[in-house]
Each structure stands twice: as C-alpha cells, then as structure tokens.
Amino acid sequence: MITFGNFFLFSLSTFFMEKMYMNGAELMVKCLENEGVEYIFGIPGEENLAFLEALRSSSIKLILTRHEQAAGFMAATYGRITGKPGVCIATLGPGATNFVTSVSYAFLGGMPCLFITGQKPIKSSKQGRFQIINVVSMMAPITKMTRQIVGADSIATLVRESFRVAVQEKSGPVHLELPEDIAAEQTTVLPFPLTPIRKKLASNESFEEVAEIIKKAKNPLLLIAAASNRRSAGTALEHFIEQTGIHFFSTQMGKGAADEFHPRCLGTAALSDHDYLHCAIGKADVIINVGHDVVEKPPFFMRRNGLVVIHINYFHAVFDEVYFPQHEVIGDIADSMQRLAALIAPNSLGGDGYFQLLKEEIDKNVYKRALPATFPYTPQQLTRVLRELMDKDSILSLDNGMYKIWFARNYRSTNSHSVLLDNALATMGAGLPVAIAAKMIFPEKKVVAVCGDGGFMMNSQEMETAIRLKLDLVILLIRDDGFGMIKWKQGGMGFPDFGLDFGNPDFVKYAESYGAHGYRGVDQEQLAEVLEHCLNTPGVHLIELPIDYAENESVLIEELKRKTCLLG
C-alpha cells in the first residue's frame, strides 16, 4: 500500500536521483542554454566528447568550422554585432593554441565571447603530459577571465560569472577549461537565474564642466570611435549631431555609428596624420572623443599645449605619448551623449565655417573625383563600384591588407556594423570568417567579404563551412601575388623589393572545388554586372580581381604631401 508519506519520499528521491545523473558536460550545456546561446562555433576533440553528446540534444546549434582560429573570429563577431557573448569550443593543446589569435582579436577589439577548451583528466590520467600545456596561464594575458573548472559543482557559477564579465565594459573574451573527468563528474547543481547589469552613469559634475568648455569652443569636432558601435550608442550620437550642428569624423572601427553620408561628416581617419580631415583637426580647438581606445591606431596625434580633448567612454582613458585627454566623462555612452546634448544650445557647434568648406574639398578629392576606366582596378574604383551597388543595410567584411586603408577612407558606412573591420589587432585571415558570422546573424542582408590573396589563403577553407551552411555570400578577392601593404612600407623605407612575393592557386578552380562559383578577369564594364548577379544569386561566389596599387604613392604620399590646407 502506497501512503502519502511513502509517495512523497519516493518523489523526493526520484527528484534528487534525476538531478544527480546530470554530468558536468550536461550542466554546462544547460547553463549555456540558460544564457540564451544560439550557436557554438568550433572543432571538438576527444576531450570534448561528453560536451558534444550533451550538445546533441540541446537547443544550441553546433557550427563545425575547419580551423579553430576561424571559429574564434566567428564567435567574436557574434559578440561584436549582438552585444551577447559568442561561444566557441576547441580541444586541448593544439586546438587551444589555435585560438590565441582570435582570442587576442576579441580582447583588443572589445568583443564579448566565451572560449571553451577541453583538457585531459586532472584527478588521474594515464597519458602523462601528452598534448598538455598550461592553457589557463596562456590565456591569462589575453582574456578578461580564465579558469580551469576543477569540480562539476562549480560549473554553474563559473558560466554565469563568465557571461557577466564578458559583457562588462570594456567587453571582451573569457575562457573556461573543462577537463574530461570534470565533464563526466555528476552534480546536482542547476543553472543560476540571469541577473541584469546596471549601466554606470557619469556624474552631473563632469557634464557641467565639459559643457562649458564645448560652449566656448570656436571650432569643436566630434570623433566617433570603436566603443560607439556598442550598445546602440549610434542613435544618441546622431541626436547630438542634429541637435548641436557639430561636424564629425570617425576612426576605422567607429565607422557607421553615425551615417557617413551626413552633410557634416568629414570622413574616416584611415591615416594618423596628413589627410584632408587632419586639416580640420588642425583647425579644431576642442575634440569630443567618444568611444576611443588606444588599442586602435591613433586617428590623430595629440601634442602638448595643443587642442583640448574630452574623453567620453565607458571606461577611463589610458594615457600614452599621443593620447592624453584633459577631461573625461565616464559612463554609458548613449546616456552621456543625451545628457550632454541637453546642455548645448541647438545648432551652436557648427564653427566658423571652415569645416563646411573643407567638407566640400573632402567630397571632391576623396569621394567624387573622376576616375579613369582602367584595368587592373585601382582601390578607389573598387570602393566606388561596391558602394554604388550595395544596399544601405548591406554588410562589408574587410580582411587586413593595403586595400583596408582605401576602403576605410573611401567607402562610406551607413549604419552600425555595416563595415566590419579590425584596426586593433589588425590580423589577416579574419575577413571570410567574420562575413560568415555576419550572414548567419543577418541572413536577409547582402554580405561581401573583401580579402587580399594573402589573408584569404589563411582561412580560405571556411568556404566549405559557408557552403555547408547554405549561406549566400560574395567574396571579392583582391590579387597582387604578394603581401602588398608590407611591400609598400618596404619601398617607403627605401629598401629593395625582397621576400614578400608568393604564388597562388587558380582561384576560380579552387572556389569551384568547394562547390562555390568563381569569376575572373572582370573588367571595368563587367564588374558591376557580375557583382550584381552574385549579390542576387544564391550560393557562395568568389570574384578574383587584380589590383593596381600605384596610387598608394601618388595619392597617399605625394598628393597628401602637396596638400597645404589652403582653406585655412
């Protein structure tokens, strides 16, 4: 006979038995589901098999990549675009070491993500030191937090803390190592409920001080940098621009936080000095620098007893020889810009008229100059064709190479994350994986990866990943059969051409071998037609284009040296 008491004891014991049978890997997957994780990118290994089995029946989709570095780029891009940590996985040893470049990419770029690596059993192991290195120590200098999980009961705590740390400013990567025996260890722990993180707001005193400085400025400028592209700060920035009438420019990683087609936009600081917009910097007496981080290549050089710089960011400035702001407003950027706008009289920051004259000069020399129909293409021709054909809400993913300077300078971005480039670690090999992640997040948008032949071949195998995922993607492959930017620097230093040329495969056949579509020899008249076809035809398309970098010298050096800022 079953009494109420017996039934209660039976139910209670069954409840705890069911909990007890959850192993560490299963708990970790449940914690990730609890955090809202959609994808895990990576390559599991032997030490991840319990985790892989737990993942098989979860709501999370595994995105198997062809290299761990690419998986890390994809996870970092997910974090960069969504503001929620992207997640990726690798095994111990070589799998973990392959993460180092993409961890560093996320660390310098402020991209929230969680890197999970496996490890041999830590309580007893019969394999000696096979494949074992100290991954936690390796990750310590390039992550915000790194831990080895030493007991299954601690998994829920560490996952929750990892996600909290990853998104707190400055956001970035975190790392957890899950040893094989801990993944198999049983636990009764459950995931922690999610808790909100309150925004840190700047003090009223800091606004009053800088508002008075800005009001007295004769020619103030607004600089929009990398952190402005996080947490939807763009709306507040555009409100500040419209409210005050101020002119603005951006760093490379700040592109798009405000529309670069705006009549008061002076462009992007693709160079650190001597470009047309640096004439405006030379004329400015106050620069409101929003979201800048010294990990990004300097958009201008500060000098002692020079202009006044106001640093507005989520975190304090890090002083160095060329960046030492005199005033700081530390707190949520969107809130800071809204509150500062309320203290400034409408249309009062337009300056003495110089910036508007310079704007016309920039439009003429950077965006609208007449270009001959040459082949191979110049970088300016490529940027113009792409900008004319791509929708305003499309996405351009740039790898790193000489062309990146031209695209940063000449290709106008229309919204946050419409141009994805890296000006912090500035690693080659990221362009294609970043484009894949962007297309997964925004399947309805047109996505183009612009890669040099050097950077493309570092992760070209991810074409197979894109095809397996049935993504629609265009790769614009710029071919110069060498490491073009370094060759340009080599020549600029007066050194002979040496050690930087290489051979290439037949890129059309290479693309076709993966199941992609390949195109070559597209001249000036054909490119727009071919590109439009690729953008509107399902599948992965690769367009190989030779490039003429002769204007590196004639424009970026000779023309800008002759430029004398006569308008001043």
The second-level CATH assignment, the architecture, of 370-558 is: 3-Layer(aba) Sandwich (3.40)
Model confidence at 13: pLDDT above 50: no
Model confidence at 29: pLDDT above 90: yes
Q: Considering the domain 204-357 in this protein, what is its CATH number?
A: 3.40.50.1220
Query: Over the stretch 310-320, which tens digit does the pLDDT of each residue have?
Result: 999 999 998 88
C-alpha–C-alpha distance, residues 531 and 524, integer Å: 11
Per-residue confidence (pLDDT) for residue 486, from 0 to 100: 86
Query: Over the stretch 459-486, which tens digit does the pLDDT of each residue have?
Result: 999 999 999 999 999 999 999 988 888 8
Per-residue confidence (pLDDT) for residue 306, from 0 to 100: 86
Model confidence at 245: pLDDT above 60: yes
Q: Considering the domain 19-187 in this protein, what is its CATH number?
A: 3.40.50.970
Whether cis (ω within 30° of 0) applies to the bond prior to 170 is: yes
Write down the domain spans for the chain.
19-187, 204-357, 370-558
Model confidence at 266: pLDDT above 50: yes
pTM for the structure as a whole: 0.92
Per-residue confidence (pLDDT) for residue 167, from 0 to 100: 96
296-333 as b/e, with b when 16 or more CB fall inside 10 Å? bebbbebeeeebbbbbbbbbebeeeeebebebbbbbbb
Per-residue confidence (pLDDT) for residue 203, from 0 to 100: 87
Helices 24-34/49-56 angle, 10° precision: 50
Give the mean model confidence (pLDDT) for residues 437-443. Answer: 97
Instruction: Output the six-digit token pair for 396.
Output: 């351009």
How many other CB atoms are there within 10 angstroms of residue 56's CB atom? 10
**Model confidence band, residue 25 (pLDDT cutoffs 50, 70, 90):** very high
The reply to whether 370-558 shares the fold of 19-187 is yes
Query: Over the stretch 294-353, which tens digit does the pLDDT of each residue have?
Result: 999 888 888 888 899 999 999 999 888 889 999 999 999 999 999 999 999 999 999 999
CB 146 within 8 A of CB 96: no
Per-residue confidence (pLDDT) for residue 505, from 0 to 100: 95
Model confidence at 449: pLDDT above 60: yes
Name the helix (H) or strand (E) containing 544: strand 540-546
Give the mean model confidence (pLDDT) for residues 217-226. Answer: 95
Give the mean model confidence (pLDDT) for residues 538-545. Answer: 96
Model confidence at 80: pLDDT above 90: yes
